[in-house]
Amino acid sequence: MISRNISKMVSSENREADEYEKQLQQESEHRKREMRYVIVKKGDTLGKIAKRVYGNVMAYKKIYRANPDILKRPDKIFIGQKLRVPE
């Protein structure tokens, strides 16, 4: 009787651990897709980067808003800057 109860408890804990691990994996995958980075190259503008990444020049605002600590103005980017590009 006691060993049966222990087996049930262990089985339940294993299922919970498996579910938790699955949720962590999903969260990790989501985070990887959520934020990408682009290194600014010669000739780049936020509009050109937005066109490349999103297919829409006007999406430059999305990139600008994702980088408030790096970009003070959307028309001032510099070669070598590493910009966050949200999904």
Domain covering 2-86, topology: Membrane-bound Lytic Murein Transglycosylase D; Chain A (3.10.350)
Q: Where are the alpha helices (DSSP H) in the chain?
A: 2-34, 46-54, 60-65
Calpha distance 45→42 (Å, rounded): 9
Quote the mean pLDDT of the chain: 87
pLDDT reported for residue 13: 72
Q: Is the pTM of this model over 0.85?
A: no
30 pLDDT more than 80: no
pLDDT reported for residue 45: 98
What is the rounded average pLDDT of the residues 32-46? Answer: 89
Domain ranges of the chain: 2-86
